Structure 1
């Protein structure tokens, strides 16, 4: 964990900051501000925020447990404030969220989708799998043609797991 930062569950009052971080990333699909408020209320157990010394969010990961597979955490968005980039925060948040979701919810696998041109995210999840000695399966989940807006890249599903340390908890 980068010095001076701590991991926490998101709270309703963090929703506006999460929306701002996503907006300022200039790479994430920006959801409505309302959706970030709902995410903080309804999916706090499967999401994480990184806070600075003042308690302000400087990064987040939103996720949810898949309704069809209670042992799989789907990671929706990963975002880090510009001033905190390059410090390993995204990896620390992902490790912390996976550990917490494994211990508290019995999660054993992580899924996410990443576009082929998103090198930082592809690297983040590949390194996560390496750190956790977990297999990775990749396949196109959504072809570019299914998106209503033109120019969208395909979304490649990354299924990581089972994660040995999480599977060993026996949940």
Structure 2
């Protein structure tokens, strides 16, 4: 953008900033989120500033961008969270093993004692979240091999840790 375009955008921004922020607040109900939405809309406008031929349509473009940003933001999973004054109580545990948690160091030490191929399968399956076919592709082996290595690796890890290992995940 040349200097004249930058100056025009700066003047437009100064004139419209507060009203866009108020509109954003009405869309989302939170001043901090409204600031973010307004910023998103103005950044999008700045990118397209030179391409806007009809300056009279700038308000409509900015408003459309603002509404779309608000809708997109509301669809994000973390926006579905609801805040409460008190945290929920943890469910009572009938299983004494559920109260025992292996520390990260214990788990890493246990994994080091599992054979390398089994360790690779366990890491890819349970830490990277790959499915059986994904692990087979990464390791260049059959799905049956992945399944058997998973079973053997979990058995070895159970032996090394000396307790139940939760494999439901």
Task: Quickly name the TM-score band, shorter chain normalised.
Answer: under 0.3
User: Which has the higher relative contact order, 1 or 2, with Cα contacts under 8 A spaced 6 or more apart?
Assistant: 1
More helix by share: 2
Q: TM-score, normalised by structure 2?
A: 0.24
* Greater share of strand: 1
